[in-house]
Amino acid sequence: MVIYNNISDVETLLRGMPSLRRLPARTKVGLALDLALVGLSLRTGCLIDSFLPKDPVAEFSQILRTLRNTPATAEIGANIVHLFEPESEQSFLVNRNLVPLRLGPLLELNYNGVSPTFVEVSPPSHFKHLEVVPEALCSVLRYLVDKFRLDSNTGVPYSLSLPKNLHIELTVPLAAILLDYAVAYVPSIFEEDAETSHKFLAGVAVATYECTLTLGFTNKQQEGLEPEVRVMKFSCPRSLEESQPDRYSPEAISESVLKELERRIALTSSDCVVARLRHEYVTYDRLAM
């Protein structure tokens, strides 16, 4: 029941913070879950979209400061950094050790076989597999790897900010990497696509994958938290399964996702946690990026 105790300790701390007193109880439980899973090194990162603080950097820095200064949550807090994306004002909570491990291999020359794979998408329904990581994205990955390696020697910051003026061609695949997706979309938009610039994979059959963790306790033990929680949901065009099954078949994707999660579960001694991956085929009018 280690993970239950961790979530409970974090939730208790959040409930006592004056700056969060107006947050609904369920939102605090969800935030406690995200903090625990990232802090325990079960997730590389998570996107915080359940609430938007007026000053995200200051607010999340205060949360992490309180976590690190509280004995019951200090170890979890020491592993977490707030990552702020200023263009869209999005906040990620990321694991300081897993980020360089996840990003570093993507910068190697022998990149093939490393998760995620990259699929370029352009309006309204075009897509193609990319053999290499886009160079502009590599620049952002190098920036983050350098930041985390430097900070591991100088002390762990509470918050880091991405460079300004990053567009969706970079922020969408970067988010996929941080959220542990097996497939990362790389939007490509041209001026002549202005009328359809918000439509991607329109009418294209895609395989959607939903990964959950069964945490090993009942919802009676942790009020407001389901015993099985979703940790990621991503997709890929179905036709890629046939053209490149070694990368995009359900078996290949399942092995990629579950093998890594099970490795992390074993390392954290969270033997009560079980990872599951379900997939189905759907066709959308458009796919949100």
Tens of pLDDT, residues 33-76: 999 999 999 999 999 999 989 999 999 999 999 999 999 999 99
pLDDT tens digit sequence for 268-288? 876 688 999 999 999 988 887
For residue 196, the model assigns a pLDDT of 53
Is 6 inside any structural domain? yes
Give a yes or no: residue 98 inside a domain: yes
Decide which of 112 and 145 is more confident. Answer: 145
What is residue 217's predicted lDDT score, i.e. its pLDDT? Answer: 67
Examine residue 166 and state whether it is found in any structural domain, yes or no. Answer: yes
> Hey, what amino acid is at 122?
S
Q: Say what the pTM is.
A: 0.93
**Mean pLDDT of the region 70-89:** 96
Q: How many domains are there within the chain?
A: 1
In a domain, 289, yes or no: no
Least confident of 5-14, 76-85, 189-198: 189-198
Does residue 251 surpass a pLDDT of 90? yes
Q: Looking at beta carbons, which pairs linking 54-61 to residues 24 or more positions away fall under 8 Å?
A: 56/82, 56/84, 56/89, 56/91, 57/82, 57/84, 57/159, 57/161, 59/19, 60/84, 60/91, 60/93, 60/158, 60/159, 61/158, 61/159
Task: Residue 176: give the domain boundaries.
Answer: 2-283
Does residue 222 have a pLDDT over 70?
Answer: no
pLDDT at position 272 is 82
Phi and psi, residue 279, nearest 5° = -140, 155
pLDDT > 70? residue 82: yes
Can you give the pLDDT at residue 155?
75
For the chain, where are the E strands, in sequence order?
A: 45-48, 80-85, 90-95, 117-122, 126-130, 159-161, 183-187, 205-214, 228-237, 274-283
Decide if 288 is inside a domain. Answer: no
Better pLDDT: 123 or 196? 123
